[in-house]
Chain A
Amino acid sequence: MTDHAVELPVDGAPRAWVRRPHGYWGGVSRRLSRDPTTLVCALILTTVVLAALLAPYLDLADPYRTSVIYRLKPPGTPGHLLGTDELGRDLLARLIYGGRLSLLMGFVPVLIATLVGAVLGILAGYFGGLVNAAIMRTMDVFYAFPSILLAVAISGVLGGGVMNGLFSLTLIFIPSIARVSESITMGVRTQDFVDAARVTGAYPHQILLSHILKNVIGQILVFSSSLISISIVVAAGLSFLGLGVAPPQAEWGLMLSTLRPTIYVAPLNAILPGIMIFITSMCFNLMSDGLRNAMDVKG
């Protein structure tokens, strides 16, 4: 059998065969690492996330210690780098501790919603027919409600608190992720290599796991990552309305709400939580854009 490779003329070695073969994701990370916007955003986000994670170990003031004397001190006051809030608590500490909750409420709902929504959408997209109708029409029911109102409604019914907030946020993202997953899957499903896999007599779960999943997960992740920023903002909104995190916990949205009455007195302090929300969600957004661009190339 060994003489076959010699007999039959091979039309040339593969292109760029001197380089090690790299997969698709290798190419994606390479392109990501060359994009300045993505790098800057990654840097900023890493700083924010690290600060949030390491908060207990940093030399911060007690975020819960109130002080009547040092209320609404401006940034730059000795001992309080970013000033204090309306109850005299150190803003820097509260922003960093608040970041923990805000990031949690940004990330976790999107993560869970992706797991649930992607599965639903991929199944709907692959099988079509009745399965598709059952899943997608159910999604449509939820989709019909504006997401923020839905979150407010669910939280209102269940009551406030972090867990209920996470639950309602997760619920509002599932339909859109399912929809996007369904349409991406339908696009992949019509390609010849899926037919080729079907001809081998493979069962649907084998085709889904080996062939479909790898081709859809990237695009679904791009979409999901763009939802993180929305989730942070909506979580902040829920807290702002009193439906999410309850005082005296630190959370950016809640801080915005409690500092709002002081905006004419200490404007700089009042907008600081808003700036954090803005920076974090912008960075997530830009990184998701960068990811999409990096994934856009054929191979």
Chain B
Amino acid sequence: MATASDKIRRARPLLGTFVEIEVTGAAKSAMNTAIDAAFEAVAWVHRLMSFHEPDSDVSRLNREAFVRPINVHDWTYQVLQAAVEMHRRSNGMFDIAVAPELQAMGLLPGANDQNPIDAEARAFDPIELLEGQKVRFRQANVGIDLGGIAKGFAVDRALEVLRGFGAAGGIVNAGGDLAVFGEAPQAVHIRHPRDPRRLICSVEITDGALASTARRFDPFQSADTASSAIIDPVRRRPAPAIDGATVRASSCMTADALTKIVMIAGTDATELLEHYNANALLISTDGDVQITPDWHHAVYLAA
């Protein structure tokens, strides 16, 4: 059955979704070894940053970081640095400390027995990054969830592994958050947020990352959409008016985090997108598609 081919694509269930990895332009055995190592990098990010795994860095921080500084893995520290910077630059719109709200909504397990802190009583920046990869929370009852950024980081690490194996090209797609490298442009089709069976457009991408966020739906239950899992940290409730957002950036971590801001800020996110050298496409509740001006040449709409 093993035929000579210059391309291998495989998929595994990881990060609560399907992670798909493709490599091109190397010997078959080398490509399979690279894909195995890339899947391992994704699994490692999951073990470090899962809210659900009791031994993850995130769970250790949520249990103890208010009591004492906690030492975390270099990768976790990098993600926290990026998240804290994104939080500051977006004036709090990007916020990893919304775990108590997500728990209260039933979107994360284990509702806090103590009440979440009032929005007013909460410090703007409760996460303190210390020397030597140590992290401390400035307030009690702070709960972080890296669900809005860690998937993008996992994609970046997997792509880095593929590059390290000297493949000509590759793509890592973690349930829609993806990154590509190599000469050949890739076409990515974006689902319609209100009807996941429909594809709304095709986006062309070369050497870069693309992340998407949409209102929540469960493809096994129904195509009907439920409310978004994006919380507006200022109003502490689900963000309105936009059904879906897709962001292109040089890293998938940045693209992943920026989708959350675009879902809340819409076209007001322009300045921040420019700062991160990113482009965006958003689908508003009235069905209109809006694209940042320097990017529409790469977007092909279904019509």
Judge: A and B partners, yes or no. no
Query: Which residues of B come within 8 Å of A, CB atoms?
Result: none
Query: Which residues of A come within 8 Å of B, CB atoms?
Result: none
